[in-house]
């Protein structure tokens, strides 16, 4: 077993979409991270859940949009390679997603990045109560 905390099983990472979790740094600042499938070993990669162009979240609780092995920014359409994090189009062209180190062993994904510890599955605000408004637009 790798040194690190178990995040989830590989089977929980959708073939087309993402698995969202929250990690904390040494100062307890929380960061959302997405796990996405990748054709390269180990078969799953982890990226911070924000576009490099305008800090737009890829996964807002229902999975990131994935098209042809690329993570799609829902705001401007920039596409990031799911394996390398590199973007060669749209407003984010020439940038690369900040990665988070993970390892896969025996069908499980482990957080092995020394800069983070696992907080919980889901996004930062998933534990917050929802809106009590009954207004619909």
pLDDT tens digits, 75-98: 999 999 999 999 999 999 999 999
How much is the pLDDT for 5? 97
Tell me whether residue 65 is exposed, middle or buried, using C-beta atoms within 10 angstroms of its C-beta: 0 to 12, 13 to 18, 19 or more. middle
Burial degree of 69 (CB within 10 A; 0-12, 13-18, 19+): middle
- Of the candidates 92, 107, 95, the one whose C-alpha atom is nearest the C-alpha of residue 7 is 107
Which residues are bridge partners to 32 per DSSP? 22
CB 53 within 8 A of CB 92: yes
pLDDT tens, position by position, 2-16: 889 999 999 999 999
> Could you give the domains of the chain?
5-125 (2.102.10.10)
């Amino acid at each position: 077993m790798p040194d690190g905390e178990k995040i989830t099983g590989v089977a929980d990472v959708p073939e087309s979409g993402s698995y969202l979790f929250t990690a904390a740094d040494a100062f307890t600042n929380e960061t959302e991270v997405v796990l996405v499938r990748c054709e390269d070993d180990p078969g799953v990669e982890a990226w911070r859940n924000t576009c490099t162009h305008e800090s737009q979240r890829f996964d807002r609780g229902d999975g990131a949009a994935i098209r042809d092995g690329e993570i799609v920014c829902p705001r401007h359409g920039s596409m990031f390679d799911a394996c390398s994090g590199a973007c060669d189009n749209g407003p984010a062209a020439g940038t690369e997603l900040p990665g988070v180190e993970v390892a896969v062993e025996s069908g499980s994904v482990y957080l092995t990045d020394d800069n983070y510890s696992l907080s919980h599955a889901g996004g930062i605000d998933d534990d917050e109560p929802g809106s009590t408004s009954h207004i619909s637009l």
